[in-house]
Amino acid sequence: MAAAAAGCYVMFRCAALIYGVLFLTISATFASAWNYDGHAIICNLARPLLTATAAAKVDSLLNSQFPHNFSTVCTWGEEFQFLPQYSWSPPLHYINTPDKACSYDYTRDCVGMFGQPNMCASGAIKNYTQQLTTPADTHNKTEAMLFLANILGDIHQPLRAGFVGDEGGDTIRVYWLNTMNGSSTSLFEVWDSVMIHETEERKFNKSTPTFNETLVDILGNMSLAIYSTLSTADVAAWSPCPGGAIICPDQYATESVELACKWAYADVTPSQILLDDYYLSRLPIVELRLKQAAVRIAATFNRLFDPNYVGAPAPPAPTAPPVAAPPVAPVPPVPVSPPADPTVPPAQPVPGPPMVPLFSWLRRNTPVYFCFKRLGLDGGLRGLFLLSLLT
């Protein structure tokens, strides 16, 4: 019943969005990095690294509108982008870097589609950290915390700092392993979800008929397996920021684009079949970034919420798998007026030269396109869009 209900919910949401694009103006947008499973694993790994004081503050911010489950902190962003009130937020989940440059520069790369400064994942992390450190109750701090955790996870996905020309690998179509049905995926999706799902199937029995019912156990066991490889030295090395800063997202973005060049893009051509050698050689990088994201989320929250925090604690040895919350439709925090901050786009942006073609921007930013991809109809959406330009 649970699996059927979840499936009906997803299909209903997709159907509603597709109907909307045919008869209404597109008002909601889509952005995601690491899929639900990846974000849940990150928070599972981060939770034992919080101090008691920081954990209590996080729980207090997870008000009655949210279950008091720490994985909610990271996975909330996998649903909120479907809501119209967050239609301005997709650019906060990635960074566009110049093709083949394999480098990141905040001033050059952290700009919006219309040239707005600070409009990228790194800018958003700085913005929401500032909101959480503002004593006055002028911001929705629950929302700020949820954004911060989700985007801190996003910025560790290497292709979220990928090349602007291929939209972080999203336009590079490839075939995964020995796919025989002719369906392709994107290089971005391989890093965002496919390798995580492949690991779940190979090592954690994801393909069982009761997968939806056992998702919590699978994510918990996978999190525990990854956590067992996390050392005290890792936590000590990855936690600090230069100069004692609370956050250092530019460092994380630089790491991501360098890893994207060295591992994600390397030896990949369009329409290529990615075989076991690609999966087995890249999986350690995926696990590395999941661990680094977790350590840094925990360290950031410790610095924000615990005045007595003096450094990275040694990783405890949990005796049971961390608990991951199953996917649920979220209730957003009580909306507040967007802060007067440059990372929030103006209501009427001044037109300017777009960084990417309009259809490419729509592909990257609309839930309708995401649903078409789920249904294998993304080519049809392209056709509808092109037809609309001619009529």
- pLDDT tens track for 259-312: 999 999 999 999 999 999 999 999 999 999 999 999 999 999 999 999 999 887
> Mean of the pLDDT values across residues 117-126?
97
In this prediction, residue 64 carries a pLDDT of 61
Q: What is the pLDDT of residues 207-232, one digit of tens each?
A: 555 555 567 788 888 999 999 999 99
Domain 27-338+352-365 has CATH 1.10.575.10: yes
Instruction: Write the pLDDT tens digit of every residue in 60-90.
Output: 998 766 666 787 788 887 777 678 889 889 8
pLDDT > 90? residue 388: no
Helix orientation angle between 211-227 and 276-305, rounded to the nearest 10 degrees: 80
- Element at 176 (helix H, strand E): strand 173-176
The answer to whether 141 touches 61, Cβ cutoff 8 Å, is yes
Mean per-residue pLDDT for 35-63?
92
Q: In the chain, what are the domain boundaries? A: 27-338+352-365
- C-alpha 146/C-alpha 154 separation (Å) is 12
- What one-letter code names the amino acid at 74? C
The per-residue pLDDT for 172 is 98
- Picking from 37-46, 83-92, 248-257, 358-367, which range would have the lowest pLDDT averaged per residue? 358-367
- Residue 138 has what pLDDT? 76
pLDDT band at 185 (very low <50, low <70, confident <90, very high): very high
Tokens of 337: 């007026």
Q: Averaged over 14-41, what is the pLDDT? A: 52
Would the pLDDT of 31 be above 50? no
Decide if pLDDT at 347 tops 50. no
